[in-house]
Amino acid sequence: MVLDIEYETIALVFEEGMVKLELNRPDVHNAFNDIMIAEISDAFRRLASEKEILAVVITGNGKSFCAGADLNWMKKMAGYSRDENIEDARKMAEMFMAIQECPFPTIASVNGAAFGGGVGLVAVCDFAFATPNAKFSFSETNLGLIPAVISKWVIERIGVKRAKQLFMTGERFEAPYACDIGLIDGSVHDLDGTINEVMTQFRTSGPMSIIESKKLIDRYQDDTGFLEYSINAIADLRASDEGKEGIAAFLDKRKATWRRDGS
């Protein structure tokens, strides 16, 4: 049973039909690395065959939900070839697909900051709630990159025009605004209480009808061609001079040479 597996970067807890998947790297604000990506993918694939599950909740241990890419992982990326970047981006895409393809409802419980790929975790979930002080940002353009792999789910959540604006600026925004644009479904003080209310609703519905309802909508939205394009797009930018300089500047704690903000 998947709940008996000991993972390095995530923790799974089963509570009355709800599986809580906790990102468990609080010392680095639950940032992604290759191990976490592989473990989330593995957990969701295994959970798909479990019985007695009504929903899966993703949350973070500590003050943050998910800060995006881990620094050490970014250092490795800086030296990747295009083929290695393609493979790396594909693994992340497969993680998001594993979450989307989970037959049970998925809920993001955003307990703190969600940046970069962390916002993708929010967007891919069927439901998302955040504390009012949670902060969000598609911060990739600050590194000379783009939020490529997560874009499919973000655009479905907030629409083309808003996604275009937030992707290009990389600006930070808080939960009330995230709620206004549809990225999350509620800015709430009591995350657990809100999720329990949703779970109560699930308990009044037929388990198979919930699964089939989700499958129906996912089939309508399926666009594997776009996801493949996004994998190649991020690989190209990571290997570009701008992307390499952006990552190097971030790691060196300096401003990238291509910045034009007058400082």
Torsion over CA: 238, 242, 244, 245 (sign): negative
Tokens of 18: 């709800």
Q: How far apart are CA 104 and CA 210, in angstroms?
A: 8
Tokens of 80: 């990747």
Rounded-to-5 percentages of helix, strand, coil across the chain: 50, 15, 30
> What's the one-letter identity of residue 36?
M
Residue 212, CB-side half-sphere exposure with 13 Å CA sphere: 5
Q: How far apart are CA 253 and CA 256, in angstroms?
A: 9
**pLDDT, position 263:** 55
pLDDT surpassing 70 at residue 2: no
200: in domain: no
pLDDT surpassing 80 at residue 223: no
**pLDDT, position 94:** 96
Instruction: With cut-offs at 50, 70 and 90, classify the pLDDT of residue 77.
Output: confident
Which pLDDT tens digit goes with each residue over 156-167? 999 999 999 999
Highest mean pLDDT range out of 71-75, 93-97, 138-142, 243-247? 93-97
pLDDT surpassing 70 at residue 1: no
Which percentage of the chain shows pLDDT scores above 70? 97
194: in domain: no
Report the DSSP pairing between strands 186-187 and 127-130.
parallel
Instruction: With cut-offs at 50, 70 and 90, classify the pLDDT of residue 199.
Output: very high
pLDDT surpassing 90 at residue 50: no
Instruction: With cut-offs at 50, 70 and 90, classify the pLDDT of residue 239.
Output: confident
215: in domain: no
67: in domain: yes
145: in domain: yes
> What's the one-letter identity of residue 171?
E
60: in domain: yes
Mean pLDDT of 133-143: 94
pLDDT surpassing 90 at residue 222: no
> What's the one-letter identity of residue 175?
A
Q: How many domains would you assign to the chain?
A: 1
- The runs of H, that is alpha helices, within 56-149 are 71-78, 82-100, 117-124
Of the candidates 58, 92, 60, 59, the one whose C-alpha atom is nearest the C-alpha of residue 73 is: 92
Instruction: With cut-offs at 50, 70 and 90, classify the pLDDT of residue 56.
Output: very high
pLDDT surpassing 80 at residue 108: yes
CATH number of the domain bearing residue 158: 3.90.226.10
123: in domain: yes
pLDDT surpassing 70 at residue 217: yes
Q: Note whether 58 and 106 are within 8 A (CB).
A: yes
pTM: 0.89
In terms of residue numbers, what domain contains 123?
2-189
Q: How far apart are CA 170 and CA 184, in angstroms?
A: 18
220: in domain: no
* 248 secondary structure, DSSP code: H
